[in-house]
Structure 1
Amino acid sequence: MKIGTLGFPEDQLKKLDKILTLSKSRSMALADFDPASLPDLLLVMGDSLDAHAQIAELPDSFRTRLVLVNKQKPVSAEHPHIKLPFISSRVLRTLEAFEPLQPVDVARAVAANTEERATVIEEPVITAASNIQAADELLAEPAAVPVTTAAVEHSSDAPIQADSAPIVPLNDNANTTQAQPMAAATTADSIEAVDKDNLFSKYDAQIEEVRRLQAEREAQQQDQHYSILVVDDSHPMQQMLAKELEQMDQPVNIDFADDGETALEKAGQNHYDFIFLDIMMPGIDGFETCTRLRQMPALKKTPIIMLSSKTSPLDEVKGIMAGSSTYLTKPINPVEFQKVIKRVSRWVSEFKNK
């Protein structure tokens, strides 16, 4: 499904491009916005759709496929809305609600818009330049000049000038004989030129394969994203952590669990690059949850960051013994949080590329 954009800065385009690769239900990719070849959806960044003059040129039937993107809450539900900053799950949920446009629908929309706009037909303009060109074409054609008997007699009486060009009889066989070597030379030159052009043609397939592999490597490097599990019984704390995680350079996909049992269930069904784990929770506490998570083979090396409002050194020791990678104290300090995230994400990236 082709996703067009309007008014997006470069950094937001990069984030959106990475988020589109996370969709599991359908293939989505960014496309250049061209009113003559409409995308399946058009994401418009700004306070309102009226802020862009290009919107007025779109067919009315396409306005249902406009998605407004900004930091404000939507005033009305007339158009779908994506709130900034981007959250992968929120963006994909909004886009996956649409079905791709059928080629017939796109053609009809563009044709209808073209008919509305094409109201004036210009008459061809005859200029002096066109008159001169027409005169040149007429002069270039040989004119049929009638030959009279008097003219022939007059020309026979006139002396032949020494400097005049010799008269060549119009013989079809002579022309053919002269044309054959010229045609042969032309054919030989053409074959030689083709041979030179195809000199390296046998390497075309290898060159294309190298380019394809290079493009795949670049796509893998750009397709870096993180799946994160946040385990905390406090919903405000969950939202605060999500807000901090959205500040990362790479797109993130965040799952939430309110207790240890739910965290163990989700960890057994999904892959996570790192886990935030609260200590004080209903049911099994964070220490026991961490111990059980480490018993899963897939989570042996997954970073687990424990969260607690306690500042006792004993809690940190217990967390390390349970298998935690590092420790953060509530309330979360944004500066310290970002330092920990950068350190952990760098370790995860190096581990993924091995």
Structure 2
Amino acid sequence: MQIGSIGFPEDQRVKLEKIFRLSKQTRYELVDIDFDQLPDLLLVFGFDLSAHSALQNLPQQYHSRIILVGRGKPDDKSYAHLGYPLVSSRVLRALDKMTNENEEMSCDPAVTEEQENRFSKYEQQAIEAPVTSSDRKAFQVLVVDDNEVMQQALNAELQQLPLPVNVRFAGSGEEAMEQVAEHQFDFIFLDVVMPGMDGFETCTEMRKRPDLKKIPIIMLTSKTSPMDEVKGIMSGCSTYLTKPIVHEEFQKVINRVSNWVEEFQKA
């Protein structure tokens, strides 16, 4: 995993390199920041992002990958942060937690990069033109949530779309894996918190299947944090949808998803 850094004194950069070498997985590599090919995570020295003008041009969705490093805690609680001075165990533990390694959720970097490159242009768009049944076939959708009320709420939203939608349901990650083994889906809604396999682990397992590497997976969560978003990215999810469902936000997400599906069908 490539880790970029901005604003670090040279002696602290050297220290980071030494810390990364201590990782048992030897999976962290400190790299020079390249804004044309952003690293997996970005460490920023200090809590004042305005001190680094280059950061102002980063895509909004990349902010969940920024980790602020400094004494105390940043005023902006939306960013993950590391305490200073740097302590080896604390740095590695924080990075392991952010990449969900403690739950043994691996990812294929090539797949993650491919997904982000394919999805990023849609993440920046406003609400797309409405989908019409005249130019699309029926979508096959899997809703994975252990809450039947949530299942029905999503189904009700999907049935309001101006195109045919066939919906299947799964109440657990294990049941979802059975469904994807038996049926083909155009996109999948996946709850984060479930008994047994949670959403992150289920997403990781789905992405291991060649036929699911390009399928949009929308994580369902009651709230998002930078940590959750990094976990979602590392497990391979395409985007988030917060609960309870808000009609306008759902329409915005579903129109992005329909564009992803169309894009993949052309590939």
TM-score, structure 2 length as denominator?
A: 0.49
Who wins on radius of gyration, i.e. which is larger?
1
Specify which structure has the higher proportion of strand. 2
Whose relative contact order is higher, 1 or 2, with alpha carbons under 8 Å and at least 6 apart? 2
TM-score, structure 1 length as denominator?
A: 0.37
Specify which structure has the higher proportion of helix. 1
